[in-house]
A and B are shown apart, each in its own frame.
Chain A
């Protein structure tokens, strides 16, 4: 069974028809990417999946159940986590408070403790800064925090929106190593990325969005070799 299915999902954002009916599916354990130019509808699609934007049409199925009308906070409880564009850390909460917010839905303290220790071993930098306000972290550290915080919600599906945005190349490499590691642990991933090459390199399949529609859907390997994709998104 597919973990996530979109059936002709349409999303309006600020009076613009940002997503005009897309179909997409992700099986358990897959890493899938959405690539496309600015304004192609990538972020709007992710927001609609997570419940931050209402669907203007179509359906979102998660584990076979329609979640199209569920508010965001109930989708998290089903195992769907979004690392938003621009990271969205709580700037005046400490690093550790941010992480605990990720586990807000749980009250099993021992397991939360274990998840917290796992976050710190995944990102030792966060442990060093656990008592610091998140707003004082560098962009890369905030991205680590946003990913670790999403993992605290024990997601079945992790949605990542532009994790490389605004980061130095070395930090981008580190973040993508982590993403590979998370995928290797069996977490299903849907990755939205401007950097199409990186996205296609970590994923198994990819969708190309253009003007709010899916124009291509294929294995990442084929997309990397596709002359159209190479010309439009890979700068080759």
Chain B
């Protein structure tokens, strides 16, 4: 088996999940200059809602893929409503407040959501039911499963859809205009509040999809799963250039590959001193390096360019 190729494939799959979550961070940042730290918790809510729906559908005899689609749609709907409410209740009243206030609020919302999830779903790990027959394919000495292929396909579709929406549609043009100059967007007849709400709703829908895919990939869901995941997706967004949509995709994929290669080789590199369970250090090591050497990220606009 080719270890290097296998690690790269694993990295791409992990990375496309990070990218899907990173898009939610970067869209909200682009339009509000707010790091929505509650976004990781939206992903968690998506995963746990989907798991609950799957548990409810267990006795119905529906085919596995159908169950998965239903669970995903319900998770998306719940997360879209949650995103809408969070924006309306927590962030909109602070629109003109100093920037620290919404940031602290975002951390608060994240804690509230985690605790609500703990009350609803408990502290235990929830297993993803065995509704999908796992197929394993050989690829030039490496292996890839049908679930992994599904993750890559769905994440790619989500990203293409978002790029088309932002660059081609009227709503997308209004989103970009609002991000660049909110007052003037209003002068053009754009209902800025609705555009901002739409941004949260779209980001949350992508987050819900990511949550379902992540729980399918790892086979579990947990009330605290959004925390580390959120931080890593945030790192991916910063790496690519926060506020920049292609940047979030690039940052997510790079982070996934780096993490995967790092986890694969860290034992060899440190003579066995550190094991693969140290894989989380790579994300934060990268975050520190990016913040020191290239705070605008790989594809980020220079800050001075902001009007």
Contact = CB atoms under 8 A, between A and B. Distances in A.
Interface string B152-194: 0000000000000000001001101100110111111111100
Nearest to B167: A97
Contact of B301 (A51, A92, A104): A92
A90 B187 CA distance: 12
B180 A81 contact: no
Contact of B188 (A71, A91, A101, A135): A101
Given A91-B305, A91-B307, A135-B305, A104 B188 contact: yes
Interface string A10-46: 0000000000000000000000000000000000000
- B-side interface size class: 20 to 34
Contacts of A90: 176-177, 180-181, 184-185, 307
B244 to A, nearest CB: 10
Interface size class of A (residues with CB under 8 A): 20 to 34
A143 to B, nearest CB: 14
A158 B247 CA distance: 39
Given A97-B173, A101-B173, A88 B181 contact: yes
A127 to B, nearest CB: 20
A105 B177 CA distance: 14
A102 B187 CA distance: 9
- Residue of B183, B189, B307 contacting most chain A CB atoms (<10 Å): B189
A190 interface: no
Contacts of B190: 73, 101, 104
Given A90-B177, A92-B301, A93-B173, A52 B188 contact: no
Contacts of B187: 50, 52, 72-73, 76, 81-82, 84, 88
A100 interface: yes
Contacts of B189: 73, 76-77, 104-105, 153
Contact of A72 (B170, B176, B186, B301): B186
Given A104-B174, A135-B305, A92 B180 contact: yes
A153 B188 contact: yes
Contacts of B191: 71, 73
B197 to A, nearest CB: 14
Interface string B189-225: 1111000000000000000000000000000000000
A160 B263 CA distance: 60
A162 B184 CA distance: 16
Scoring A90, A105, A135 by chain B CB atoms within 10 A of each residue's CB, the highest score goes to A90
A84 B183 contact: yes
B176 A52 contact: no
Nearest to A72: B186
Contacts of B301: 92
Interface of B: 170, 173-174, 176-177, 180-181, 183-192, 301, 305, 307
25 contacts: A50-B187, A72-B183, A72-B187, A73-B188, A81-B187, A84-B183, A88-B187, A89-B307, A90-B176, A90-B180, A90-B181, A90-B185, A90-B307, A93-B176, A93-B177, A97-B173, A101-B185, A101-B190, A104-B173, A104-B174, A104-B188, A104-B189, A105-B189, A135-B305, A153-B188
Across the A-B interface, give the 3 residue pairs with the lowest CB-CB distance, nearest first. Answer: A105-B189, A72-B186, A88-B184
